[in-house]
Amino acid sequence: MDTMKHEIRATPSQWLGMSPARFLRDYWQKHPLLIRAAFPQFSGPVTPDDLAGLACEDSALARIAIRDPRSDHWEVRTGPFAAGDFARLPSTHWTLLVQDVDKWDAQVGALLAAFAFLPRWRFDDVMLSYAVDGGSVGAHIDHYDVFLLQGLGRKRWQISTDPAAPTAFRDDVELRLLREFAPTHDWTLEPGDVLYLPPGVPHHGVAVGECLTYSFGLRAPSAAELLLDFSEAFAEHLPESQRMTDPDLAPARGDGEIHDTAIARVMAALPWLRIAPATRAAQRDEIDPAFLRAWFGRFITRYRSAQIVAANPQPLTDRAFERAVTQATRVRRNPWSRCAWIREGNHAVLFVCGESHVCSPALARTLGAYDEFSLADIAPRDRTLVRMLIDAGHFALLRARSRKSS
């Protein structure tokens, strides 16, 4: 029997309604939690018109889900959209979803500061959904953690905490919707309420009138995704001469059968299937744990979409960079550039958009923790790397006027 408390009210000092440590211990990836008034009097920095405008941008990831309530027929349209597309939508039962809004709007990105108790590299994006009355994306399951912050209007959320809840999908719609859904909890969220859902919890959100919801999704790579990327990274280090061999080959029967002996040879050609314990060096047929760590750092900082950070068209001159250092110019991270790092002895390995750089732990900690910092806080030995990252487009110098306005 589920005895967990699934609803709590935030306090002025704890928007989770509890300490982050208790939340991570009792709820994180374990139980859903509704937090009332987590963001008091919240309306959000983005209006429905703003979101519709963003959905018309060529590089925005936008969709519209439409449901016919009489036939239960679903239609999914993919952006970019034109302004006239919205005028032709029905009056009810549709939802506009736009991903990566935190990359487009700095005020939306700033909301991530509330989640500082979670690793920054775990966050995927902030998706915004605008829905008219009855708008929804159907009952479904997500395989990642998500925090749903209610912005404008109200939204009714139904969830199921039944461990035996059916998970089969409908085969008549493009969306991965549940064939059966029997909720155990039914809530209507007001502006500022937050619903946390761990992976695998069936849920269904329906707009009560017009509403706008902020969805903070955390990246949870599948085992298949991890394995594919890892195998590609490891294969780069294998010499062309290292192949499957069969010096003891017996005459074939000519029927094309792959025998167990052949499978054994294939397995022998895959030495990366074993990982050496961290307590000792890797043997010939084991993966070096250090390699695994370096691969993961590159993997997790590459963004899942095809967006590529554009390099600075005018690299900094020595004079310009020295002047920026002298004036303590502030530097801001490109929202498309993900940063993470690992410690290796007395130094750090910094990962930025899938590339690795050796630097001091102090610099790695600064770039991994802050979206904005001052060049005056960077040690002289680390400035060359910071300059290179600025030239590559991962960071940008802020003009004095921009700093004043922010």
In 10 A of CB 57, how many CB atoms? 14
Per residue in 119-173, pLDDT tens? Answer: 999 999 999 999 999 999 999 999 999 999 999 999 999 999 999 999 999 988 8
Please indicate, yes or no, if residue 255 is contained in any of the structural domains.
no
Cα separation, 373 vs 150, whole angstroms = 31
Per residue in 249-278, pLDDT tens? Answer: 888 666 666 666 776 776 677 655 555 555
Please indicate, yes or no, if residue 257 is contained in any of the structural domains.
no
Q: How many CA atoms lie within 13 A of 351 on its CB side?
A: 21
Per residue in 372-403, pLDDT tens? Answer: 999 999 999 999 999 999 999 999 999 765 44
Residue type, 364: A
Reduced to 3 states (helix: H, G, I; strand: E, B; else coil), residue 297 is helix
Domain count, the chain: 3
What pLDDT is recorded for position 405?
40
End-to-end CA distance of the chain: 51
Distances (CA, A) of 326 to 332, 375, 381: 17, 8, 15
For residues 65-77, give the mean pLDDT.
Answer: 95
| Together in a domain, 379 and 358 | yes
Per residue in 12-50, pLDDT tens? Answer: 999 999 999 999 999 999 999 999 999 998 989 999 999
| Together in a domain, 179 and 270 | no
User: Which residue, 218, 248, 282, sits at the end of a domain?
Assistant: 218
| Together in a domain, 277 and 343 | no
Distances (CA, A) of 214 to 15, 66, 131, 180, 265: 16, 19, 12, 26, 52
Query: DSSP assignment of 217-279, as one string?
Result: EE----HHHHHHHHHHHHHTTS-TT-----TTPPPP-SS----HHHHHHHHHT-GGGSB--TT
Classify burial at 123, counting beta carbons within 10 Å of its beta carbon; exposed 0-12, middle 13-18, buried 19 or more. middle
CATH (domain of 383): 3.40.366.30
Cα separation, 150 vs 146, whole angstroms = 13
What pLDDT is recorded for position 306?
56
Q: Residue 193: is its pLDDT beyond 90?
A: yes
For residues 283-292, give the mean pLDDT.
Answer: 66
Q: Domain containing 34: what range? A: 7-218
